[in-house]
């Protein structure tokens, strides 16, 4: 992967050993850009809504950046629409093995937002995966062409490393999703991709900084979600790592001893992760 030189980006680096992996895989992890877009011929009502959304996010992104240690220098505080163009250019120039979009790339669903996002996805020249975030939920039919036809659980293999992307935007994992995770994860080294990070008995203290709203596994938990979390806590679980977003702050915790859950910060301030998966010795 070539170096990213665009000053917009604030990049954090992680290295994760993966049992059974034959060669290194380097990815970029990007989340929570919250694009709000109006076309030139959009209605005045739509344009006004987009302006309100952007204005509302301005103090919020500063709040999260200050809380979690991201810079708010001017080069990072650009409009998310411009940020999306910079992301596309940086991915095509730096050529990681893949890029993971961990959800909430759009502020909400609208034809304008999806059209703007998808036009950019078409231009990315490397493998990518986008999973649904809580701001985007409820429009699986529209997202299906951009999520391998299966927004609930999509699979992608990059250099022998499988990425399993699930939609947990409502803080739940369904029976069908769990069955797909169980069947897919035994086939080859795998990484789980979802928007909302999970609370387990092992990372309870580490994730307390976020509060219940930002975690799956708090409040009312359905039976299938409970079984999913128990599976992830188990020592026989073969999944190598979990990649999440949602919290708007870079964070790493062990969801079980020796296995990490990495949350990407918000790319509303250019923050993202470069993760290198290497063969375990």
Helix (H) or strand (E) holding 174: none
Tell me whether residue 275 is in a domain.
yes
Q: How many domains does the chain have?
A: 1
pLDDT at 241: 98
Using the structure block, give the residue that is written with the tokens 């976020």: 210
Predicted pLDDT of residue 219: 87
C-alpha triplet 217, 110, 135: angle, nearest 5° = 15
Which pLDDT score, from 0 to 100, does residue 220 have?
A: 87
189 falls within a domain:
yes
Q: Residue 243 belongs to a domain with what CATH number?
A: 3.60.21.10
Q: Is residue 2 part of a domain?
A: no
Contact 43, 279 (CB under 8 A): no
d(CA 118, CA 219): 34
Q: What are phi and psi of 152, to 5 degrees?
A: -70, -35
Residue span of the structural domain in which 272 resides: 10-279
Question: Tokens 């980006």 sit at which residue?
Answer: 9
Give the pLDDT confidence of 218-271 residue by residue, as tens digits: 988 999 999 999 999 999 899 999 999 999 999 999 999 999 999 999 999 999
**178 lies in some domain:** yes
Residue 212, sorted as left (phi over 0), alpha (psi -120 to 50) or beta, turns out to be alpha
257 in a structural domain: yes
Measured on CA atoms in the order 16, 21, 22, 25, is the torsion positive or negative?
Answer: negative
Give the residue ranges of the chain where pLDDT is below 50: none
Is 210 inside a domain boundary? yes
Are 261 and 245 within 8 A, CB to CB? no
Local structure of 276: helix, strand or coil: strand
The answer to whether residue 83 is domain-embedded is: yes
């Amino acid at each position: 992967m070539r170096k990213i030189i665009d000053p917009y980006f604030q990049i954090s680096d992680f290295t994760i050993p993966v049992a059974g992996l034959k060669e290194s895989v380097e990815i970029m992890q990007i989340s929570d850009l919250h694009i709000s877009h109006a076309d030139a011929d959009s209605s005045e009502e739509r344009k006004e809504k987009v302006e309100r959304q952007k204005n509302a996010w301005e103090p919020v992104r500063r709040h999260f950046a200050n809380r979690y240690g991201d810079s708010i220098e001017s080069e990072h505080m650009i409009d998310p629409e411009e940020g999306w163009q910079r992301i596309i250019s940086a991915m095509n120039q730096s050529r990681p093995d893949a890029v993971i979009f961990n959800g909430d790339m759009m502020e909400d669903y609208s034809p304008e937002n999806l059209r703007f996002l998808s036009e950019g996805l078409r231009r990315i020249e490397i493998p990518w995966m986008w999973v649904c975030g809580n701001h985007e939920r409820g429009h699986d039919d529209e997202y299906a062409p951009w999520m391998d036809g299966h927004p609930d659980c999509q699979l992608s293999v990059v250099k022998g490393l499988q990425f399993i992307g699930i939609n947990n935007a409502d803080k739940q994992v369904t029976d069908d999703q769990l069955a797909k995770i169980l069947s897919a994860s035994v086939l080859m080294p795998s990484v789980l991709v979802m928007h909302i990070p999970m609370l387990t008995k092992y990372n309870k203290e580490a994730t307390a900084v976020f509060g219940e709203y930002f975690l799956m596994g708090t409040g009312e938990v359905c039976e299938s979600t409970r079984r999913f979390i128990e599976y992830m806590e188990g020592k026989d679980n073969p999944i190598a790592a979990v990649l999440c977003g949602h919290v708007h702050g870079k964070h790493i915790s062990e969801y079980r001893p020796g296995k990490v859950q990495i949350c990407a910060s918000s790319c509303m301030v250019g923050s993202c992760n470069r993760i290198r998966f290497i063969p375990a010795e």
